[in-house]
Amino acid sequence: MLAWKVIEYGYYKDVLEQGEMPRTEPGPGQVEIRVGATALSFAQMLRIAGQYQLKDPLPFIPGMDAAGEVVAVGPECPFAVGDRVMGTAATGACAEYSVLQGDLSYRVPEAMPDTDAAAFLNAHQTSYVGLVHQGRLKAGEVVLVHGAAGGVGLAAIQIGRMLGATVIATASSPEKLAACTAQGAHHVIDYSKDDFVAAVQDITAGHGADVIYDPVGGDVFDRSRRCIAFDGRLVVVGFASGRIPEIAVNRMLLRTFSVTGFTLHAYKAHQPQVLEQAQQTLFDRYLEGHVKPVISHTLPMTRLVEGLDLLESRQVIGKVVLLPEWE
């Protein structure tokens, strides 16, 4: 099959190659799909560079989020040939065919196209579980969403609004701020020009944000503790800035707030019912029109490098989705 492949760790422009790769037969609980769409993320650049938490054995096919039609199933797999599914895998989505874990995949509603399905799962499930289960966000509270113009950030805005919270979003350009407002943010802050700490304190009359949703890390995390409310929850979902921050726990003690982080894989291992319930809620809200992935660019699979360029240069509002066009 045709696929993109990584033969050595490094900068994606230097190490990505396109060519033939063998198809993988699905094992127990696995499903093979003909890829109908795949969504890109910053995590893929880290995997290609060998800088992700877990290194993928070389050579590997990049790509984590995919949707498509089932063409083969392994033993004890909950799907059947012909089903439309979406799922997340460590690698393998940037190819004609991809093998997904059955317990990390879901049947796609008939009304949801593959492009939405590929862009929906990771961003919206991460934001829903992060805000509801880790952040314990309640109606009437204030949630501050950093990196709000990315796929995860825009999903968090939609979900925060859906939950009845006041949503404050930070982004870095007028276009990105407009996108945040369009998705339901009540207040927006241009962090490239304004001090978001002072702005949050002003918006909340000194109360601060009850929940801070942070996919950025680095300096953004460091400064967020200065505008968090009493008994606030700082939810860590990623490190798009490239720096993993640290915190002195006496800061948490003196200001009385908590820091929490999570991964969907940990929930799958320990509380899989949470993800099942979350995804059913998200499907229902999608069909009702309350949540929907924002897709900035749709490109053929042959333009993977261009898609990663768009992410690296921060030109993306929402998600970049690749379609199975190889010519």
Pick the closest to residue 126 from 268, 296, 290, 298 (CA basis).
268
Phi–psi pair at 94, nearest 5 degrees: -90, 65
Q: What is the pLDDT of residue 106?
A: 96
d(CA 44, CA 37): 16
Length of the chain: 327
Q: Specify the pTM.
A: 0.93
Helix (H, G, I), strand (E, B) or coil at 59: coil
Given a contact cutoff of 8 angstroms between Cβ atoms, the answer to whether 174 and 188 are in contact is: no
Asked if the 123-264 domain carries CATH number 3.20.20.70, the reply is no
As given in the structure block, the two tokens for residue 101 are: 């874990």
Give 10-residue mean pLDDT values along the chain (327 residues).
96 95 93 96 89 86 95 95 91 94 92 97 94 97 96 97 97 95 97 94 97 94 95 92 85 89 85 93 96 96 97 93 92
As given in the structure block, the two tokens for residue 138 are: 């309640």
Q: What is the pLDDT of residue 137?
A: 98
What one-character-per-residue DSSP string does 68-112 give?
EEEEEE-TT-S--TT-EEEEE-SS--SBSEEEEEGGGEEEPPTTS
Given a contact cutoff of 8 angstroms between Cβ atoms, the answer to whether 182 and 207 are in contact is: no
As given in the structure block, the two tokens for residue 212 are: 């801070």
Given a contact cutoff of 8 angstroms between Cβ atoms, the answer to whether 161 and 128 are in contact is: no
Every domain of the chain with CATH number 3.40.50.720 lies at 123-264
Asked if the 2-108+294-323 domain carries CATH number 1.10.10.60, the reply is no
As given in the structure block, the two tokens for residue 108 are: 């796609």
Given a contact cutoff of 8 angstroms between Cβ atoms, the answer to whether 48 and 39 are in contact is: no
As given in the structure block, the two tokens for residue 293 are: 């992935």
Residue with tokens 């943010």: 185
Every domain of the chain with CATH number 3.90.180.10 lies at 2-108+294-323
d(CA 220, CA 141): 21
Angle at 311 between CA 306 and CA 316, to 5 degrees: 105
Strands 228-236 and 257-261, how do they pair?
parallel
Secondary-structure breakdown of the chain: helix, strand, coil percentages, each rounded to the nearest 5: 35, 30, 35
Residue with tokens 């460590």: 90
d(CA 93, CA 174): 33
Q: What is the pLDDT of residue 252?
A: 86
| Four-residue CA torsion sign, 51, 62, 286, 290 | positive
Q: What is the pLDDT of residue 292?
A: 96
Given a contact cutoff of 8 angstroms between Cβ atoms, the answer to whether 292 and 158 are in contact is: yes
Given a contact cutoff of 8 angstroms between Cβ atoms, the answer to whether 132 and 291 are in contact is: no
